[in-house]
Amino acid sequence: MVIQFAADFTWGAATSGPQAEGTFHKKHENIFDYHYHTRPQDFYHNVGPDVASNFYNDYEQDLKLLKQAGVQALRISIQWTRLIDDLETGTVDPAGADYYRRVFDAMRALGITPYVNLHHFDLPITLQRRYGGWQSKHVVDLYVKFARRCFELYGDQVTHWFTFNEPKVIVDGQYLYQFHYPNLVDGKAAVQVAYNLNLASAKAVAAFREINQHPDAIIGTIINLTPVYPATQSDGDREAARFAELWANDLYLEPAIHGRFPEALVERLRQDHVLWASTPEELAVIAANHIDVLGVNYYHPCRVQAPDVAPDSLQPWLPDIYFDEYDMPGRKMNLDKGWEIYPDALYDIAMTIKNRYGNIDWFVAENGIGVADEERFLQDEVVQDDYRIQFMTDHLRFLHQAIEAGANCHGYFVWTGIDCWSWLNAYKNRYGLIRNNLRNQTKSLKKSGYWFRQVSATGHVPDADSCSVHVEKSTQ
């Protein structure tokens, strides 16, 4: 099958401020900075975010390398903890503001379009400790002040804005499954945080509509979608999948696109006495401020079965009292990460957006594979990451099929451009098109980087088994 994407399809890469910039000259610690400085042993090989991939100092050279890898658009984030001086008033730190302006200027000079995300897990630790972080609606309003500053400062440079990256991960990591500070397990708080994040996004969209003067500027949000598949077609498994889909995906898609919450989920949470606190005025803001574009992060599916323990047993409320995870026999795995590889789901995501969400404009905002000990594939100073080329090829095949079937998808962004620091996992798994030698911060294209350049230039995705990739020496 010929896989040929349209000439105006965007080929990009994604990263974030906390994972790329390092903590150089930041005004505040975020929750990961604080976690690392208080418990470095929780991070793989005790490696924290202090330097990350040194984008703060290397951005001009890094952007040139990304351009060499065929990156037409780069999704980055503005760190709340770098831009804002006084968190309560929203006053701007001049050095932080100047840094981002220089970065956007450098991107535009190279013909790389900035896709700017306003929150990528970098909640200021002061707001977590003082107010309980995203449990607080005061923090919602402080975030909106930050968003307004971004729109005011960079509206002349940026036309693609995004309110949040993966709000579900904030809920899961901080309030349910203990992989983001403060590592709580509190189902009722998780429900309120999910609501508050949706409210914050809608309020930021409202601020954008008020401030924006650029006729081509758009705003969206970025949601990690994990399509839910029942283990069998039994009533119990299908009901488990129905709730898991409501909780994992519809809880964020419905408010962002349709301006409302899923009725079935609201009713379930109300019956369980864990429904969020809301006001009619807040719900009106959510109803009135829909996104223009959707970013979709996809890595793996979610497979579930009926719970082994009845949900009405005496137990704390958590969303997974209604489903158990299920491992499909014979599945293909990325064993280094523990995630199933199932590219078919990208087609299913596209059809859900087409059929249930008005076929809104969207793009793949993250897709990629992280492999441990990638130096083992180093030959002649180039990482021979054929597994990454195969992974992207397989996903692009299903994405192309979806576009042929009418999906309104306009871009594919790989996670990530340059090997970056990755939360508790630090540098355990590498995801980049570009290798980062941490010993000397020297960066060079991997084989996948040369492959991506060819695909970006032509829109043609060759068969992974037969494609020929011209590899040359390219070091910073």
For residue 174, the model assigns a pLDDT of: 97
Does residue 429 lie in a domain region?
yes
Burial status of residue 227 (CB atoms within 10 A of its CB: 0-12, 13-18, 19 or more): buried
Q: What is the pLDDT of residues 134-167, one digit of tens each?
A: 999 999 999 999 999 999 999 999 999 999 999 9
> What gap in Å lies between CA 42 and CA 93, rounded to an integer?
31
For residue 475, the model assigns a pLDDT of: 44
Does residue 473 lie in a domain region?
no
Q: Which residue in the list 21, 29, 282, 366 is annotated as catalytic? A: 366
* Closest by CA position to 4, among listed 468, 457, 466, 469: 457
Residue 468's pLDDT band (boundaries 50, 70, 90)?
low
Distance from chain centroid for Cα 187: 23
Answer yes or no: is pLDDT of 422 > 70: yes
Q: What is the pLDDT of residues 158-194, one digit of tens each?
A: 999 999 999 999 999 999 999 999 999 999 999 999 9
Map residue 268 onto helix, strand or coil.
Answer: helix
* Residues ≥6 apart with Cβ < 8 Å to 305: 230, 231, 232, 236, 237, 240, 323, 324, 325, 326
Does residue 132 lie in a domain region?
yes
Residue 476's pLDDT band (boundaries 50, 70, 90)?
very low
Residue 463's pLDDT band (boundaries 50, 70, 90)?
confident
Read off φ and ψ for residue 125, nearest 5 degrees.
-60, -30
Does residue 469 lie in a domain region?
no
Does residue 464 lie in a domain region?
no
For residue 416, the model assigns a pLDDT of: 97
> What gap in Å lies between CA 128 and CA 82, rounded to an integer?
16
Tell me whether residue 29 is one of the annotated catalytic residues. Answer: no
- In the numeric block, which tokens belong to residue 244? 């898991």
Answer yes or no: is pLDDT of 359 > 70: yes
Answer yes or no: is pLDDT of 17 > 70: yes
Answer yes or no: is pLDDT of 474 > 60: no
Tell me whether residue 366 is one of the annotated catalytic residues. Answer: yes
Residue 2's pLDDT band (boundaries 50, 70, 90)?
confident
> What gap in Å lies between CA 397 and CA 377, rounded to an integer?
25
For residue 473, the model assigns a pLDDT of: 56
Q: What is the mean pLDDT of residues 271-294?
A: 98
Does residue 467 lie in a domain region?
no
Q: What is the mean pLDDT of residues 422-428?
A: 96
Number of structural domains (the chain) is 1
Q: What is the pLDDT of residues 62-72, one digit of tens each?
A: 999 999 999 99
Does residue 245 lie in a domain region?
yes
Judging by DSSP bridges, how do beta strands 113-117 and 160-165 pair with one another?
A: parallel
For residue 451, the model assigns a pLDDT of: 98
Q: What percent of the chain has pLDDT over 90?
A: 96
Answer yes or no: is pLDDT of 425 > 50: yes
How wide is the angle at C-alpha 249 spanned by C-alphas 17 and 337, nearest 5°? Answer: 55
Does residue 145 lie in a domain region?
yes
**Rama region for 178: left / alpha / beta (φ>0; ψ in -120 to 50; rest):** left
Instruction: Return the CATH number at 427.
Output: 3.20.20.80
Q: What is the pLDDT of residues 195-248, one digit of tens each?
A: 999 999 999 999 999 999 899 999 999 999 999 999 999 999 999 999 999 999
Which parts of 110-224 fold into alpha helices (H)? Answer: 125-131, 137-154, 167-175, 187-211
Write the single-letter amino acid at 118: L
Q: What mean pLDDT is reported for the chain?
A: 96
Which parts of 372-446 fold into alpha helices (H)? Answer: 386-404
Say how many C-beta atoms besides its own lie within 10 A of residue 405's C-beta.
11
Q: Which residue in the list 166, 245, 282, 374 is annotated as catalytic? A: 166
> What gap in Å lies between CA 221 and CA 165, rounded to an integer?
7
Say how many C-beta atoms besides its own lie within 10 A of residue 410's C-beta.
16
> What gap in Å lies between CA 276 and CA 195, rounded to an integer?
7
What range does the domain containing 224 cover? 10-458
> What gap in Å lies between CA 204 and CA 206, rounded to an integer?
5
* Closest by CA position to 436, among listed 476, 387, 472, 379: 476
For residue 467, the model assigns a pLDDT of: 57
pTM of the predicted protein model: 0.96
Judging by DSSP bridges, how do beta strands 371-372 and 429-430 pair with one another?
A: antiparallel
